[in-house]
Structure 1
Amino acid sequence: METAEGSDGTSGPSGLAPGLGCASFNQDSTSLAVGTGMGYKLYSLTSVEKLDCIHESADSPDVFIVERLFSSSLVVVVSTALPRRMNVYQPVVCCSSQRLVVCLEESIYIHNIKDMKLLKTLLNTPSNPSGLCALSVNHSNSYLAHPGSATIGEIVVYDANILSTVTMIPAHDTPLAALAFNAQGTRLASASERGTVIRVFSIPDGQRLFEFRRGMKRYVNISSLSFSPDGQFLCTSSNTETVHIFKLEQLGITDAAVLSVTSPLPSPVSAAGSRRPPLPTPI
């Protein structure tokens, strides 16, 4: 639901209504940050039955990016009024316990989370109008994944701690649509604009571990990927109003068990486990 501005200074959304502009979980999923046309709010997730607002701010209207660093008081906010200005509040954009990353259409900025010092600027990156990137949140590493091409699904894995490229992964034949690390920063999931195949790679070596097919009849827009806290399941959502949950069993690429959740949201979801036949070569 978040968007990023281009290098010419234009932003994604414009004229946000006072309603929902964006929403994001913090790194350990203990709180929810919501941006609106009036500002932003932070909600506690101690109970899913009732969302308790723990902080509210109207300092920056028309918010379309808001992220909280774990359970700290550090909140990063970007508004449509000043899309190239990042406001850091104490009461992203990706952030871990060590690094804060700002991804623009053709450049990436890496900051030290402690003092916000700019550590590295990656210029002339492939066109990335959606600001797609992923940052591992494990305390022992800060791997950054971003597109390595605007025409194919190549992934660049960059070590934001030592500031050097770790590996390049030829993940898909078409441009990337979604990226996500597991909580340990040891696996990376990816999906392309076709949305038919989800792949999981080991980090930092970039070896393909799993391949899942979420559909064959038509292409879909994958909006998000998310690992379970223990890394045993991978969830994906798309514009079809369905959720697919894949179980990451050590059975190899062609024989992984899959749980497909096909009930339209927000009605109660139901799951059915099934064995998948061998998958074709990469799409």
Structure 2
Amino acid sequence: METTEGAGVACGADEPGLRFGCASFNQDSTSLALGTKTGYKLFSLSMVESLDCIHESAETPDVYIVERLFSSSLVVVVSAAMPQRMNIYHFKKGTEICNYSYPNNILAVKLNRQRLVVCLEDSIYIHNIKDMKLLKTLLNTPSNPSGLCALSINHSNSYLAYPGSTTIGEIIVYDANSLSTVTMIPAHDSPLAALAFNASATKVASASERGTVIRVFSVSEGLRLFEFRRGMKRYVNISSLSFSHDGQFLCASSNTETVHIFKLEQLGPSGADDAATWTAYVGKMFSAASNYLPAQVTGMMSQDRAFATVHLLSSGQRNVCTLVTIQKFPRLLVATADGQLFIYNVDPQDGGECKLAHKHRVFGVDDNKEEGTEPDGSQVTGEAQSFPSYAETAALPAAGPVTVTLTGYSEDGGTKKGEVIPEHEFAAGPVCLDDENEFPPINSCRDGTEGGQGRRS
């Protein structure tokens, strides 16, 4: 299964869950989720030398999708044993919030503070994450066997990007809040392989199946702002694209041993708005120039090479990369589907070759090994710790849904203290997302329409 977006999912087998599972970063890259043959694990990414396992579930086999909502207790899991069903859990209480079933296998799930998006091969389902109501089904979308899609994390601009063609690299940008199409961007001559939004949802990056060129477009106008050349020697399968939180850098990983970091130059002297305006002007200039200059000339005018690179210890393993600040320094993180996390130091001024700061072996060949050190000096993390299982912590009612009261949900994505939403039937008993960083609370799980079917546990 192909990976989907920048801080997306890396799967370790052509068929979901048949070998290793998956690896995914949450929306702000503060935690790592790993799916395994026996369940899933969640790790905190606050330190370089240590990797703290904050939750482990061993009740679901062959997990090939696991997505956590920011730093909340909401986690979505899809298993190869039931690939048409999405389960949503409150992992800190060990309870299932609800589950939904779909007509075909689930290929990707994306979350932000407003929406939950489920991607099938020929359709996309958009849910309201506050109550899991199905808001829209995009039927008969172009065949998308890899489940390629991207959902912006910005709470006010909830944009969804997905392929608009099976033969060329068209990007459809859809507004998941207003439920309307924003634009179609003709990005590449060959089909899309990777997509990612920046944090403010003003830019979208893309790569094609050829894997030689990465382009960045403005979301509002669809203008090409940047073009980066990954390499000309061979075609590669780009598995992950991810912007840094400040939008100044873009990283790309593939099935080769090299991870590239590109720099989006700030051309405006008086801030991001000026930079965006100037960049849009330059994009228009090159678009106009392309009408009368040879293609190879206009291409060279707008392309750039990698600002920094990383050479992985091995190649061929599916991975997902992200750029994040840990302990006040910029880092490149690369997680592989066979249970490894590589942390590299990035020089934001001079770039160049990034040095390996730490390597964590989370699971893999020595999955049952006590915590220790591998021959290459990497740390085996989390295996000696014991965590309560789903069965041990769940307190499900004997029959039927029950009535609960949940705290309210504010427009900016946080929880309003003291505000109460009227009582609703809740899927799996009293589950209250009430810790400080939780968002949003779940009101109820309803039956889906237009093909999606919700189930009350």
> Which bin holds the TM-score, normalised by the shorter protein?
0.7 to 0.9
Matched, 1:263 2:343: no
Matched, 1:167 2:188: no
Q: How does 1:1-283 map to 2 (within 5 A)?
A: 13=15, 16-17=18-19, 20-91=20-91, 93-249=109-265, 250=267, 252=282, 254=302, 256=304, 258-261=306-309, 263-265=311-313, 271-272=351-352
The more displaced of 248-257 and 193-202 is 248-257
More strand by share: 1
Is this contact kept in 2: 1:261–1:269, CA < 8 A? Answer: no
Equivalent-residue separation in structure 2 for 1:96 and 1:46 (angstroms):
21
Is this contact kept in 2: 1:34–1:42, CA < 8 A? Answer: yes
Is this contact kept in 2: 1:248–1:256, CA < 8 A? Answer: no
Amino acid at match of 2:352: A
1:114-163 CA deviation, whole Å, 9 max, x = no partner?
11100000000000000000000012111000000011000000000000
1:220-242 CA deviation, whole Å, 9 max, x = no partner?
11010010110000000111110
Max radius of gyration: which structure?
2
Q: Which residue of 2 aligns with 1:276?
A: none
Q: Which runs of 5+ in 1 are unaligned?
A: 5-10, 274-283
Is this contact kept in 2: 1:16–1:36, CA < 8 A? Answer: no
Equivalent-residue separation in structure 2 for 1:143 and 1:205 (angstroms):
14
Task: Specify whether residues 201 and 78 from structure 1 end up closer, same or farther in structure 2 by C-alpha distance, changes over 3 A only.
Answer: same
CA drift of 1:213 comes to 0.6
More helix by share: 2
The more displaced of 223-232 and 55-64 is 55-64
TM-score (norm 2): 0.55
1:71-124 CA deviation, whole Å, 9 max, x = no partner?
011100000011010001112600110000000000000000111100000000
Root mean square deviation, CA, Å: 2.2
The more displaced of 215-224 and 188-197 is 215-224
CA drift of 1:263 comes to 2.4
CA drift of 1:207 comes to 1.1
The more displaced of 86-95 and 110-119 is 86-95
Work out which structure has the larger RCO, using CA pairs closer than 8 Å and 6 or more positions apart in sequence: 2
Q: Give identity over the alignment, percent.
A: 74
TM-score (norm 1): 0.88
CA drift of 1:272 comes to 3.0
Is this contact kept in 1: 2:229–2:304, CA < 8 A? Answer: no
